[in-house]
């Protein structure tokens, strides 16, 4: 009686795949060995293309098992397998690459910085299998390409990582994500005219303004244009309140809002001294109070051009004074 010779099957080489959430191993004929065949007799393992990893998770040197092995070949009837199951530490499962991207909008009002504030809604992760527990570790900040106002601005986030119970089976194709999701809107800059005051008939004072809204060290040096003021008040305007409206300037990264101030034109009583009427200091040599009317004509203005100018202002403020002012020096007539 002749009995079949026992042969021993084994696994060799490497069975590799990218993580796919299953334990299925793909094999080739090169992954199998068969020991014990005599000479060149025609006997081999029936081809098998699949096996099973010990677990679905990423790793190297993983145990792969193949069952249901059989022999084939013209001499196979003279042999038998010591075991129809074979195992070997030939398995490798590598992490699956995921792609992070930015979505939605990251908005802010101009603040002079490139910092972008983000939420979990600004991130997308593609490539996760089924409902496996893997996501991006929360990140709350990124960087705009520039600090300037604009839409569709490039935002960049670096240092991304994965989290979740299945995160070890994945990797990020890149730990940096960029997207044109940025919006920076202009900041409001308020320019308000300061209130001012002058007597009737006097020239307007130099108008000034105050600013509210500049960021950091930025100030009026960033303004484009020349600040100007408009008012409806003229030299002939009666006493009252008049708007002082600033304008004429703008600034990059700001939206300018102009706010009016108030010009108070005051009534000039007839017994007000000359210095108050003209709104400026008068040299002692020409300073002269204006007496109450009714006591006779006023003294003449005989000390120079300054007093002639004062007389003109007095006449504009109150034409009735013309009956009390004498002619200027030299007998010249006043126009």
Q: What DSSP string describes 295-317?
A: SSPPPP--S-HHHHHHHHHHHHH
Nearest partner of 245 among 255, 235, 266, 260, judged by Cα: 260
* Max Cα–Cα distance, the chain, nearest Å: 164
The phi, psi pair for 18, rounded to 5°, reads: -85, 140
The phi, psi pair for 24, rounded to 5°, reads: -70, 130
Smallest Cα–Cα separation from 235: which of 269, 277, 194? 277
Cβ(117)–Cβ(108) under 8 Å?
A: yes
Is 80 exceeded by the pLDDT of residue 176? yes
Q: Indicate the pLDDT class of residue 275, thresholds 50, 70 and 90.
A: very low
Class of domain 188-266: mainly beta
Beta strands in 128-232 (DSSP E): 135-136, 141-144, 150-157, 162-163, 170-172, 177-185, 187-193, 196-199, 209-212, 224-231
Q: Evaluate if residue 307 carries a pLDDT over 70.
A: no
* 8 A C-beta contact, residue 268 and residue 201: yes
CA distances from 194 to 58, 207, 215, 235, 240 (A): 72, 7, 21, 20, 17
The residues facing 233 across adjacent strands are none
Confidence at 201, pLDDT banded by 50, 70, 90? confident
Which two tokens mark 275? 């210095």
- Separation in Å, CA 246 to CA 213, 224, 225, 253, 255: 16, 14, 12, 20, 15
Average pLDDT over residues 176-180: 98
From the CB of residue 270, how many other CB atoms can be counted at a distance below 10 Å?
15
Average pLDDT estimate for 71-82? 98
**Average pLDDT value for residue range 213-227:** 97
**Domain limits of the chain?**
5-94, 97-185, 188-266, 278-331
Average pLDDT over the chain, rounded to whole? Answer: 87
């Amino acid at each position: 009686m002749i009995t079949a010779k026992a042969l021993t099957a084994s696994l060799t080489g490497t069975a590799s795949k990218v993580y796919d959430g299953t334990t299925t191993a793909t094999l080739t004929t090169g992954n199998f060995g068969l020991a014990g065949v005599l000479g060149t007799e025609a006997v081999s393992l029936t081809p098998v293309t699949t096996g099973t990893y010990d677990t679905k998770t990423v790793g190297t040197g993983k145990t792969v098992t193949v069952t249901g092995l059989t022999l084939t070949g013209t001499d196979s009837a003279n042999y038998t397998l010591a075991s129809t199951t074979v195992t070997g530490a030939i398995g490798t499962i590598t992490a699956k690459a995921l792609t992070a991207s930015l979505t939605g909008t990251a908005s802010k009002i101009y603040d002079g910085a490139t910092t972008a504030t983000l939420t979990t809604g600004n991130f997308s992760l593609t490539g996760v299998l089924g409902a496996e527990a893997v996501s991006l570790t929360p990140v709350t900040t990124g960087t705009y390409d520039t600090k300037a106002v604009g839409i569709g601005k490039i935002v960049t986030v670096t240092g991304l990582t994965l989290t979740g119970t299945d995160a070890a089976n994945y990797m990020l194709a890149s730990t940096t994500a960029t997207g044109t999701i940025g919006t920076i809107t202009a900041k409001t800059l308020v320019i308000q005219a300061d209130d001012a005051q002058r007597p009737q008939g006097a020239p307007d004072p130099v108008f000034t303004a105050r600013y509210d809204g500049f960021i950091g060290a930025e100030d009026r040096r960033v303004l484009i244009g020349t600040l100007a003021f408009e008012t409806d008040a003229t030299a002939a305007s009666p006493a009252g309140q008049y708007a002082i409206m600033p304008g004429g300037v703008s600034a990059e990264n700001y939206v300018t809002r102009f706010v009016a101030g108030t010009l108070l034109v005051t009534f000039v009583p007839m017994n007000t001294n000359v210095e108050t009427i003209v709104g400026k200091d008068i040299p002692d040599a020409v300073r002269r109070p204006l007496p109450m009317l009714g006591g006779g004509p006023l003294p003449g203005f005989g000390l120079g051009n300054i007093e002639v100018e004062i007389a003109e202002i007095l006449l504009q403020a109150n034409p009735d004074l013309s009956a009390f002012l004498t002619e200027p020096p030299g007998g010249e007539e006043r126009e």
